[in-house]
Chain A
Amino acid sequence: MTSMPKPKLDKHLPRNKLGLTIRNYEGVMSTLCAGCGHDSVTASLVQAFWELGLAPESAAKVSGIGCSSKTTAYFMGQSHGINTVHGRMPSVATGANAVNGDLHYIGISGDGDSLSIGFGQFAHAIRRNLNMLYVIENNGVYGLTKGQFSASADVGSTTKKGIANEQTPIDPCVQALTLGAGFVARGFSGDKAQLVPLIKAALMHKGFALIDVISPCVTFNDHKGSTKSYAHTYKYYHPLIHTDFVAEADAIIGEHDEDGALEVTLHDGGQLKFKQTDAGYDPRDKAQAVETLMTPSSNGEIRTGLLYLNEDSPDMHGSNQLPARPLNQFAHEELCPGSAGLEKLLRRYG
């Protein structure tokens, strides 16, 4: 089989500030299972990019291997994409980003890709504060190889045949917090209203922005006994904090809402408005975020929302003093010292 393009009938669809409809941000037809959470994440990404009015060619999509990583073909067909090797998307994103920081890098990964085979690269991309949106489509299971547990499977969660996982899960959000990520969020593929603003904010965040999206696998991990099923997630899903993203142009400069909403302006433009749903949760308090995530809740709730935000640490470009003009745009004459330079350079070797 070959990939199928989507029909582009968009005459009556609304247009964004670039005059583009949502169709301009779609990719080829998904080949994932019907009802797969990943397709909802894809739809949210398309929505967010369209709403922000970013030019499709300003994005570069990067991914590894697995069901999640396939999805970079299913959105933004007018953007370059690179579907790399298993667990190694962060390194490719790093090299690409280093030589052209002007693009929006969208990394799509999965729990196997980021927390098992690619755990090292995931960690080091965070340490470098690579300026990118990093989405983990987290379903707790290996789909393409038919249902093995992944490293994010909860203790006690069972396979379809009823076998329970006994190994401690890796929580990518806790890892990201301890490794220094400045934007850590958790979403749910079933809640587009929450996910779209998170994606928009993450794209505008200058630095590493992780969104761990619980994205159920309908074929291998949606049964009773699974803690990453739709039913389980809907039941225990709990937004810790509500986040709205207001694009720069539309930003309303005003007073805080009466109910204690918090506003943060992002370096790359746009404003975040938080509304607390849990009394006292402050998304700028890393210790609190770690403590909250690591403390099992009495009622088994899955905490979601923008869990942590810190815009202060320099991204990889800043800490490497990379030029404002992308490195891939320098002419050879600007880089090569020529024959006159050679003579000077070789003097000490004579």
Chain B
Amino acid sequence: MNALADIRAAVRVNDFVLKIANVNGTGSASANGLLMKAIFRMGVPVVGKNLFPSNIQGLPTWYEIRLTKDSYAARAGETHFMVAMNAETYAQDIEEVAPGGYLLYDNTWPRPELHERAEVTAIGVPLARMCNAEFDNARTRVLMKNMAYVGAVAGLTGLDLDVIRSMVEEMFGTKAHLIEANMKAIQLGLDYVTEHYPDPISLKVEAMDKTAGHIMIDGNTAAALGCVYAGATFGAWYPITPSTSLMDGFKSFCEKLRIDPETGEKKFCIIQAEDELASVGMAVGAGWNGARAFTPTSGPGISLMSEFIGFAYYGEVPLVLFDVQRAGPSTGLPTRTQQCDLTLAAYASHGDTKHICVYPADPKECFEMAVASFDLAERFQTPVFFMTDLDIGMNDWMVPEFEWDDSYQPDRGKVLHAEDLEKIEKFYRYEDRDGDGVPYRTLPGEHPKGAYFTRGSGHNWKGGYTEDGAEYQEVLDRLTRKWESAADVVPGPVVVEAERETRDAIISIGGCDGAVREALDRLNEANCPVNYLRVRGFPFSAEIEAFIEAHDRVFVVEQNRDAQLRSLLINETSADKEKLIPLLDYAGMPANPSFITAGILAHCQPQEA
């Protein structure tokens, strides 16, 4: 037990994980968000993960808050302080607490089944009893219990009550009675632990200055904001977890920014379609007609959209598809994260099709790459896949404040307008006039000379129907050239070089980034340094092939069972597949650095320190 005593004696300042176990539908989200934001406002970097069920009410849900003084961006993979508000998961929750950790529970009711662990300090707080005594209606009592545990956690860990108060004020605005009621509940929890647990615990929050210039935002909201900044005017969607909040975000920004105060006219159109076959069709129609159009969805939606995706690829219609990936196959785990649509998106639809994809790693990149996606779609006149996931999309991430360059001009691609058409003899839709694989297009309604017929059936460079093999093939080959030329235009890879020479490397993608970067530090400490490249766009640039070439072993870290990124690398580069070692995490949880560290250490001969 000496080891345990040591753990307890060692105070962890701004470096621990607080996890709250709740019942879905009890209003805990705002209390947990408050806790996280308060820590952030104290200048302490945080990582928040909402682990929720596919359910409206009753099933277990957890909220995990990691305080990370070193500004890591991933889950820690362990829990130091559990707030156990769900009797159903209590046994599981206490098991999860690291030795020397704490468990706060509601001791209003006797718990004969109370599962004790000597290495975990249990802290009983009569949350329900206190709230029942103070508040009248049943729903209020439930909600206030959440605020009471916020107070208890604050009291135990040293969270600044003034910060909490200012946040409660922001949350409820002018509704003074709600501010007072919530503060009262918070005070109840705080006073109780101050009186009954006066000894300091070993987990402490202390003010820092490491969050200045940062915001806390989820990727779906950030992507939605990107759509606004890109000048998207049309969005069609069918509700599906975890993409729903993207369209909610777009709607809310547009309602704020794009409604004429006098006429009530909207400079945007959002249509909730009857299904994903229709939502993508609408985006195709709007893109064909010259608007920046998009549709947010998740894997099952992409499956349904596939026929239209091939149509837009072959007919060369720009649109942006946001795939907020969730665990498949089929309905899979709708509220769990994965990167399982990488190959689906890259080659979506029947026949020979290849698409442009971008892979943001966090909400800041969601904002930036959303804008880039519309530029890519119009420049290359093709569907573009924005591949994010539930973890990026729905969790609040601490990221540097977004920046906007006011000199930005959208790349609307090659469009011949009426005045251009006047000057030319004849317009042919699929003529490669510039020899770069990208033809010119025209918009309906502008000029009779610009008329052309968009079809998914075989067509020649003039846009006419054809069953002639050579004519058909000519168009298909141009499409390949066009797609390949996007390799240098999609967001380029990000490379992190180890401080020491190494022949080992990691290639990863999207939301694994935070976990990989943390693993790099651990691997370096273990004298197994590795270089790191993060893929951000498809088709792959030459730099990616060269990076693989320059290493003996490349661990491909991704969140799916079938090593889809690795498959794409094998398929689209000259890389030796034996060199690419898959490191796969597909249980549905946000990426965890320890699995990467362990996975690589298993292959590593430590260098001399």
User: Residues on A close to B: CB < 8 A?
Assistant: 1-3, 28, 55-58, 60, 62, 72-73, 77-85, 88, 90-100, 102-103, 120-121, 123-124, 128, 320-324, 327-328, 330, 332, 334-339, 341-342, 345-346, 348-350
> Once the chains bind, are B288 and A98 in contact (CB under 8 Å)?
no
Least Cβ–Cβ distance between A177 and chain B, in angstroms: 19
| Residue of A62, A83, A84 with highest tally of chain B CB at under 10 A | A84
> Once the chains bind, are A99 and B233 in contact (CB under 8 Å)?
yes
Least Cβ–Cβ distance between B250 and chain A, in angstroms: 12
> Once the chains bind, are A337 and B217 in contact (CB under 8 Å)?
no
- Residues of A within 8 Å of B216, CB to CB, are 349-350
- Residues of B within 8 Å of A338, CB to CB, are 404, 406
Q: Does B11 sit at the interface, judged by CB under 8 A?
A: no
- Residues of A within 8 Å of B289, CB to CB, are 60, 95-96, 99-100, 328
> Once the chains bind, are B291 and A57 in contact (CB under 8 Å)?
no
Q: Does B557 sit at the interface, judged by CB under 8 A?
A: no
> Once the chains bind, are A93 and B455 in contact (CB under 8 Å)?
no
Nearest CB in chain A to that of B277: its residue? A88
Question: A103 with B290: in contact, given A73-B465, A88-B278, A121-B277 (CB under 8 Å)?
Answer: no
- Residues of A within 8 Å of B401, CB to CB, are 346, 350
- Residues of A within 8 Å of B457, CB to CB, are 83
- Residues of A within 8 Å of B474, CB to CB, are none
Q: Does B481 sit at the interface, judged by CB under 8 A?
A: no
The contact of A323 among B260, B315, B404, by CB within 8 Å, is: B260
A62 to B311, CA, bound (A): 14
> Once the chains bind, are A1 and B467 in contact (CB under 8 Å)?
yes
| Residue of B283, B287, B311, B448 with highest tally of chain A CB at under 10 A | B448
Q: List 9 A-B contacts (CB under 8 A).
A: A2-B460, A80-B443, A80-B451, A85-B307, A91-B278, A121-B278, A124-B274, A327-B291, A330-B267
Cβ contacts B208-221/A at 8 Å (1 or 0 each): 00000011110000
- Residues of B within 8 Å of A1, CB to CB, are 466-468
A337 to B266, CA, bound (A): 15
The contact of B282 among A98, A323, A336, by CB within 8 Å, is: A98
Q: Does B447 sit at the interface, judged by CB under 8 A?
A: yes
A91 to B289, CA, bound (A): 13
The contact of B454 among A83, A103, A328, by CB within 8 Å, is: A83
A98 to B409, CA, bound (A): 24
- Residues of B within 8 Å of A350, CB to CB, are 214-216, 401
The contact of A341 among B257, B453, B466, by CB within 8 Å, is: B257
Question: A339 with B403: in contact, given A81-B454, A94-B282, A103-B445 (CB under 8 Å)?
Answer: yes
Please give me the 3 A-B residue pairs with the lowest Cβ-Cβ distance, nearest first: A91-B281, A95-B285, A95-B282
Question: A334 with B286: in contact, given A3-B465, A342-B402 (CB under 8 Å)?
Answer: no
Nearest CB in chain A to that of B233: its residue? A327
Nearest CB in chain B to that of A27: its residue? B453
Size of the B side of the interface (Cβ < 8 Å), in residues, is: 83
Least Cβ–Cβ distance between B531 and chain A, in angstroms: 33
A216 to B228, CA, bound (A): 49
The contact of B225 among A28, A72, A95, A345, by CB within 8 Å, is: A345
A5 to B260, CA, bound (A): 47
- Residues of B within 8 Å of A335, CB to CB, are 228, 231-233, 258, 267
> Once the chains bind, are A60 and B445 in contact (CB under 8 Å)?
yes
A3 to B282, CA, bound (A): 28
A337 to B402, CA, bound (A): 13
Least Cβ–Cβ distance between B416 and chain A, in angstroms: 13
A10 to B111, CA, bound (A): 94
Residues 278-331 (chain B) with a chain A CB within 8 angstroms: 278-291, 293, 307-308, 311, 315
Q: Does B143 sit at the interface, judged by CB under 8 A?
A: no
- Residues of A within 8 Å of B228, CB to CB, are 335-337
| Residue of A62, A90, A121, A327 with highest tally of chain B CB at under 10 A | A327
Q: Does B136 sit at the interface, judged by CB under 8 A?
A: no
The contact of A96 among B406, B444, B447, B465, by CB within 8 Å, is: B444
- Residues of B within 8 Å of A81, CB to CB, are 451-454
A77 to B454, CA, bound (A): 12
> Once the chains bind, are A334 and B267 in contact (CB under 8 Å)?
yes
- Residues of A within 8 Å of B280, CB to CB, are 91
Q: Does B608 sit at the interface, judged by CB under 8 A?
A: no
Q: Does B229 sit at the interface, judged by CB under 8 A?
A: yes
> Once the chains bind, are B445 and A332 in contact (CB under 8 Å)?
no
- Residues of B within 8 Å of A83, CB to CB, are 453-457
Nearest CB in chain A to that of B401: its residue? A346
Question: A339 with B465: in contact, given A57-B448, A103-B445 (CB under 8 Å)?
Answer: no
- Residues of A within 8 Å of B99, CB to CB, are none
- Residues of B within 8 Å of A349, CB to CB, are 215-217
Cβ contacts B471-482/A at 8 Å (1 or 0 each): 100000000000
Q: Does B123 sit at the interface, judged by CB under 8 A?
A: no
Q: Does B264 sit at the interface, judged by CB under 8 A?
A: yes
Q: Does B268 sit at the interface, judged by CB under 8 A?
A: yes
- Residues of B within 8 Å of A348, CB to CB, are 170
Least Cβ–Cβ distance between A178 and chain B, in angstroms: 16
- Residues of A within 8 Å of B27, CB to CB, are none
- Residues of B within 8 Å of A320, CB to CB, are 266, 269, 271
| Residue of A90, A123, A321, A350 with highest tally of chain B CB at under 10 A | A350
> Once the chains bind, are B265 and A84 in contact (CB under 8 Å)?
no
